Homo-oligomer: A and B are copies of this chain.
């Protein structure tokens, strides 16, 4: 960002006028007392906008939240982890609506002012018998906390909660943005098994917010990939309640531009945090494609490289294998010319004009052995570029994802399904 800002404590509860709460229903693990139902509530009317999975198989809460967001006046979000409420048909829609109703009434809202999100296992019905008794505690718990309870309640196989908040001056007013995210598996361009909630006390008109959210998501969450799988539940929802007391941000003005920069920065930080905390991830790799004829070519090349199982396996081994990168560039579906392609690993030339460069292999090896490094691919055909954030693919990832059957069996034993 090209203006000063301060990191502040917390996440979605950090901006003024937002209350949060979280309780444990025993959806995630009936034995351990882990938070798995969360609520965000704005004391003031909000502008709201969202972005959702483009998967044709959409979870019930995604369908419900999309409908509720049409007016752009969401004021509360209820979210659970442990069950995705996906592939659950009409019953799933009914359950998602019931979750909205449950918080709308006591908070004095219409059902359509409440968003709902779920993340977890696909294909099992929501364990409403466990959720329903906790509504009272959830609402009673609402308070001006910093939102860390929400960040903790939405994670599944993440190793830790991920949240961020900043404050900065917009004209004469100090405003705050806070956000939290959960990720871990099924992370692919066009979002992921990913829930992300962002709140701000800036005053942004609905139409501006909608446009800004779509642009920022395109440049952050749509640029990450862990395993190349796109989930049924991906959701980003942004609430802006204007509690900072500032006048509405004018469209295309300087403050609008600043606000968008801040929003993009927050989203990119959260997106990167998702990759770093991917399931059994050991490497964070930034892939920059330069010199493509058109933007779409650059994107295709970046995606092919970031999704290749062979490339990701070599990253896992800390192997600076430019041959595999080049072969993925080759099958990306763009008309690249092999003899023009340069590949740099951590700033050192690995491949020039499609051939091995002079950099000693040991030097590249040292770079690829780091937990984070950058790969630059120059197609030398034009001016377009694209950046993606990716991870390795580890034997442990496969091992971790081998069987949900055990989980299902335990669930049935616990009476959760």
A354 within 8 A of B: yes
Within 213-235 of A, Cβ neighbours of B (below 8 Å) are at 227-232
A58 touches B338 (CB 8 A): yes
Kindly state whether residue A339 has any CB partner on chain B within 8 Å: yes
Tell me, yes or no, whether A358 is within 8 Å of chain B by CB.
no
List, in ascending order, chain B residues with CB within 8 A of A314's CB. 401-404
Given A320-B405, A321-B404; A331-B58 close (CB under 8 Å): no
Q: Is the CB of A56 within 8 A of B402?
A: no
User: Which partner residue on chain B sits nearest A353 by CB separation?
Assistant: B89
Once the chains bind, are B356 and A123 in contact (CB under 8 Å)? yes
Q: Chain A binding site: helix, strand, loop or mixed by DSSP?
A: loop
With contacts A323-B122, A354-B87, A354-B89 known, is A313 near B402, CB below 8 A?
yes
Q: Smallest distance from the beta carbon of A287 to chain B beta carbons, Å?
A: 16
Report if A324 contacts B (CB, 8 A).
yes
Closest residue of chain B to A400 (Cβ to Cβ) is B313
Smallest CB separation, A48 vs chain B (Å): 25
Copies of this chain, whole number: 2
Q: Which of A318-352 contact B (CB under 8 A)?
A: 318-324, 326-332, 334-339, 341, 351
What separation, in Å, do the CA atoms of A314 and B227 have in the docked complex?
13
With A319-B405, A395-B399, A404-B321 in contact, do A309 and B228 touch (Cβ < 8 Å)? yes
Does A185 count as interface, using CB distance less than 8 angstroms? yes
Report B-chain residues with C-beta under 8 Å of the C-beta of A356.
87, 123-124
The yes or no answer to A396 lying at the interface (CB within 8 A) is yes
Contact B227 A335 (CB under 8 A): no
Set B58, B326, B355, B398: member contacting A316, Cβ < 8 A: B398
Kindly state whether residue A67 has any CB partner on chain B within 8 Å: no
| Contact between chains at A56 and B331 (CB < 8 Å) | yes
Residue numbers in B under 8 Å from A319 (CB-CB): 402-405
Does A89 lie within 8 Å of B405, measured CB to CB? Answer: no
Give the 3 A-B residue pairs with the shortest CB-CB distance, closest first.
A317-B402, A57-B330, A122-B323
